[in-house]
Chains A and B, each alone.
Chain A
Amino acid sequence: MNKERVNVSRREFLIQTTVVGTGFSLGLYLPLFGGKVFAAEGSAAKAASPVKEVDAWVVIEPDDTVIIRIARSEMGQGTLTGLAQLVAEELECDWSKVTTEYPTPGENLARDRVWGDFATGGSRGIRSSQQYVRKGGAVARQMLLEAASDYWKVPIEECHAANSVITHLPSGRTTTYGKVAAAAAKAFPPEDVELKAPKDWKLIGKPVKRLDTDDKLNGKQIFAADLKLPGMLNAAIKACPVFGGKLKSFDAAKVNKMPGVHKVVRVNDDAVAVVAETWWQAKTALDALPITWDKGPNTKVSSASIEKMLVAGLTSDKHVFVGNKRGDVKHALKGSVKTVEATYSYPFQAHTCMEPMNATARWTKDRCEVWCPTQDGMAALATAAKAAGLPITQCDVYKINLGGGFGRRGFQDYVTRAVAVAKQLPGTPIKVLWSREEDVTHDFYHPFTKCKLTGGLDAKGNLIGLHVRISGQSILASLNPKVKKTGDMITFQGLLPDGDHAISYTVPNLLVDHAMRNPPVPPGFWRGVNINQNTIYMECFLDELAHTAGKDSLEFRRKLMGGHPKSLAVLNAVAEKAGWGKPAAKGVHRGLAVCKTFGSYVAACAEVSVDAKGQLTIHRIVAATDPGYAVNPQQIEAQVAGSFVYGLSALLYGEVTIKGGAVEQTNFHNYPSMLIDKMPKVDVIVMPSGGFWGGIGEPTIAVAAPAVLNAIFAATGKRIRRIPLKHANLRTG
């Protein structure tokens, strides 16, 4: 890729109002423990000092501190550092002086959405904003150069910027960004800017350290759950355990006199909250509160009843949507020498972010403010306005770093809850913190799906026909009822004909379809979304076919991947590094998986052993990622290894079950997560091939589980088709 010339829209850069900071009506500069001043978001800090905003993305202080604005949310995935690298690359600033801040969604609205999309999901944080944030850096650099050249009265072409220093090349005079920032802020933005060619990148592609580590080492990092505003009260909340149920009544008199209790309030039509001085007091009173629920229409819904509905969907022709079709599968299967059929099952799963759901809200009849750990600031703002019953311009949201997101915090229900409580105590900031039990039982769950696969082999053992029938819930249909009629394309992640989630194989006769079956359990986006189970279905079944054909599973795949060179490249890379085809250590067996998802190509080779008692050890996973461009390889490595913990926790234990219309699991004792003792060694291969921008946070999660399952088959001859593994007996002999 060569240099990119990017047109600069006047609108984006000329609206330099002074709204930054003014939305912060409480004027909160919170002295916290240790004497550190905390502004709930950085932009407020500058309300007090003149804003040296060069453009919307870049603020430069007189001491040369560079503040880069980040619209997306940081939830551990490193997006904040990666986005800052992108801006700084073009800005040519001193990386050691870079810090970051979040503009508020209200400011974004007031400035005609100058910071674009705030949504942080679908592994889009970097890839869908990379061009405009680099442009933001390049425009600021040009404006700084312009300010220096004006000051020196020399042509701008004679000035050069590097490391926050501007040099007038003929005379050798220098100045710094900090010195010209105020003048640059008044400069006219350039008509267009040139973005660097990738070969000239100095910061993009470098494994620089994260910008947000220090405060995570000493307890200073404030999460929303830690927030303490002046006069703030705390609330504990309980919603009807049965989905679709309502709050009938509660007996506040029984708890009103308990220590610290201020008020017991109805929240929307299905929950109740106790507001008290401290959260522990609120929770203690809530636990003692007599509550009567109207359990509603779903009390007969259970995992078994849902499974029955899904099983029927595997062979039904009603409400079926096609995701990928090629040739004539029926005919091909009829003409097959051998056919293989298998049904897989993948359960509901909860997110269990380490930081339970929470938000803090302050409501008056004129204004509503919310402090929250959201993956989507603009959606949080819209939700706040709706819940507040106020025009959106009278509301704002202050984003606080998230204690985990994984898709859960793309939903804004905790904002609705906090505002609903705060509305009943006007003027008082209220923090609504869910107990872990509320968090597990009121999630938006990874959908429960089943999949029936039928494959046909010819006399030579080649795959000539494949039917993949998925049956289960649509997440999109829960958000937009029209999808019930049109079909939900994200149910086909990793199996689509082309695009970010394309299938990695060419099968001459292929049908991938989905029987949409929507039980009354709220579904949601869960790191990886449908790619997790779809890759298990596809990759484990391909292993079954290879086994039936009597072929090596790598060779069997390669034969189908001629038209998918990038997928083949990552698969070859893991096979080579793992030593596929060469003997493994005694008792150790290997399994493979590959997919394309969120725009990146990923593959894994797992090495496992299973002892005579059926105890599984995952020794190592070799993982390869081709994300096109790799902004920060050491953070990619962290995401790959981290995604395996999330994915393997799901594979080993992750199952939410439904009984009486409610979730049976409540906390980490019955919804466990993997610990360090089960963690395999992870060898990460980052192999950016250039020319495209793929996602990082999610893709590799998809290949961990199927690679392990295929390795388990190699070790035991047992094909596990029902997830999680806690149901399986791996004992041999």
Chain B
Amino acid sequence: MTKLNVNGKLVSLDVDGSTPLLWILREQLALTGTKYSCGIGICGACTVHINGKAVRSCIVPVSSLNASHKIVTIEGLSSDNNHPLQQAWKQLDVPQCGYCQSGMLMSAAALLNSHPKPSDADIDANITNICRCGTFNRVRHGIHLAAEINQKLNGRRS
């Protein structure tokens, strides 16, 4: 039995340990927001967070994980589309086909965790997701806008 912590819930699974996390999420837990596209850890469509860091889930065997790893998928990014990135994405109409956007958002969210006010160079270095529709300029704009929204929220809180 493999025990995982996914979006704050503990789940137990009887699966082959070599199965990539991506396929556990998609086929065992019905979390299909995390996408398959390359299967070799390049394109980023399968990006999820493990302990707050962006990880390509298509190359993470489930045997390497246990309940101490906090896994967050796009479905767990926010309760009601209210993550600052989701707000920014909506405001700027970022997605086109949308297939890469779960991974794009999860990469961007991890970036904002480590760099609350990322520079363009930070974005270039950390957002390595492929988008064939070509949403990059709105993605960049969206990350900056989300950082501003975050700053406003934090200002209000303090």
Within B19-36, the residues touching A (CB, 8 Å) are 19-20, 23, 26-36
Q: Is the CB of A676 within 8 A of B139?
A: yes
Q: For the complex, is B60 an interface residue (Cβ under 8 Å from A)?
A: no
Query: Does A642 belong to the interface (CB within 8 Å)?
Result: yes
Binding site for B on A (CB under 8 A): 32-34, 75-78, 209-210, 212-223, 225-226, 228, 234, 259, 278-280, 352-356, 401-406, 433, 435-436, 634-635, 638, 641-646, 649, 667-669, 673, 675-677, 679, 681-682
Which residues of B in the span 69-99 have a Cβ within 8 Å of any Cβ on A?
Answer: 73-75, 77-78, 81, 86, 89-90, 93-99
Cα A39 to Cα B99 in complex, Å, equals: 19
Taking CB atoms, residues of chain B closer than 8 Å to A669 are: 40, 42
A216 and B95 form a contact (CB under 8 A): yes
Residues of B within 8 A of A353 (CB): 99, 132
Which chain B residue shows the least CB distance to A210? B93
For chain B residues 103-138, which have a beta carbon within 8 Å of chain A?
105, 123-125, 127-138
15 interchain pairs (CB within 8 A)?
Answer: A33-B30, A217-B89, A217-B90, A219-B73, A228-B30, A278-B23, A354-B97, A401-B98, A403-B98, A403-B99, A436-B38, A638-B93, A669-B42, A673-B43, A681-B137
Q: Please tell me if the beta carbons of B137 and A355 are within 8 angstroms of each other in the complex.
A: no
Q: Which of A219, A234, A642 contacts B133 (CB 8 A)?
A: A642
Q: Which residue of A lies closest to B27 (CB)?
A: A278
For chain B, give the interface size range. 35 or more
Q: A642-B134, A676-B140 are in contact. Are A354 and B90 (CB under 8 A)?
A: no
A659 to B145, CA, bound (A): 47
B54: CB under 8 A from chain A?
A: no
Complex-state Cα separation, A280 to B31, whole angstroms:
15
| B102 CB–A CB distance under 8 Å | yes
Minimal Cβ-Cβ distance residue in B for A225: B36
The residue that B36 contacts in the complex, of A213, A356, A635, with Cβ under 8 A, is: A356
Measured CB to CB, the closest approach of chain B to A637, in angstroms, equals 9
B138 touches A638 (CB 8 A): yes
Report the minimum CB–CB distance from A181 to chain B (whole Å): 30
- A219/B97 contact (C-beta < 8 A), A354-B132, A643-B134, A667-B42 known: no
Contact B96 A667 (CB under 8 A): no
Contacts A223-B35, A667-B40, A675-B128 known; list 18 others, CB within 8 Å. A32-B30, A33-B29, A33-B30, A213-B93, A213-B94, A217-B95, A218-B74, A278-B23, A354-B45, A354-B133, A355-B97, A435-B39, A436-B37, A638-B93, A649-B132, A668-B42, A673-B132, A679-B136
Distance of A681 Cα from B138 Cα, bound (Å): 11
Q: How far is the CA of A77 from the CA of B135 in the complex (A)?
A: 11
Q: What is the interface of chain B, defined by CB distance below 8 A to chain A?
A: 16, 19-20, 23, 26-40, 42-43, 45, 73-75, 77-78, 81, 86, 89-90, 93-102, 105, 123-125, 127-140
Report the minimum CB–CB distance from B96 to chain A (whole Å). Answer: 3
Contact status of A354 and B96, CB under 8 A, knowing A646-B134, A673-B130: no
CB distance from B70 to the nearest CB of A (A): 18
**Interface pairs A-B: 7 shortest CB-CB:** A219-B33, A645-B134, A76-B97, A403-B99, A642-B134, A76-B96, A216-B98
CB distance from A239 to the nearest CB of B (A): 17
Using a Cβ cutoff of 8 Å, how many contacts connect chains A and B?
177
Min CB distance, B126 to chain A, in Å? 9
Instruction: Give complex CA distance A402, B32 in Å.
Output: 15
Identity of the chain B residue whose Cβ is nearest the Cβ of A81 in the assembled complex: B93
B33 A354 Cβ-Cβ under 8 A:
no
B26 to chain A, nearest CB (A): 7
B23 contact set on A, CB distance < 8 A: 278-280
Q: Are B77 and A668 within 8 A (Cβ)? A: no
Q: Closest CB of chain B to A686's CB: distance in Å? A: 15
Which chain A residues lie closer than 8 Å to B29 at the CB level? 33
Whether the pair B32, A214 counts as a contact (CB closer than 8 A) is: no
A219 touches B96 (CB 8 A): no
Contacts A280-B23, A638-B93 given; indicate if A354 touches B30 (C-beta within 8 A): no
Whole-angstrom distance between the alpha carbons of A226 and B117 in the complex?
A: 34
Residues of chain A with a CB closer than 8 A to B95's CB: 76, 210, 213, 216-217
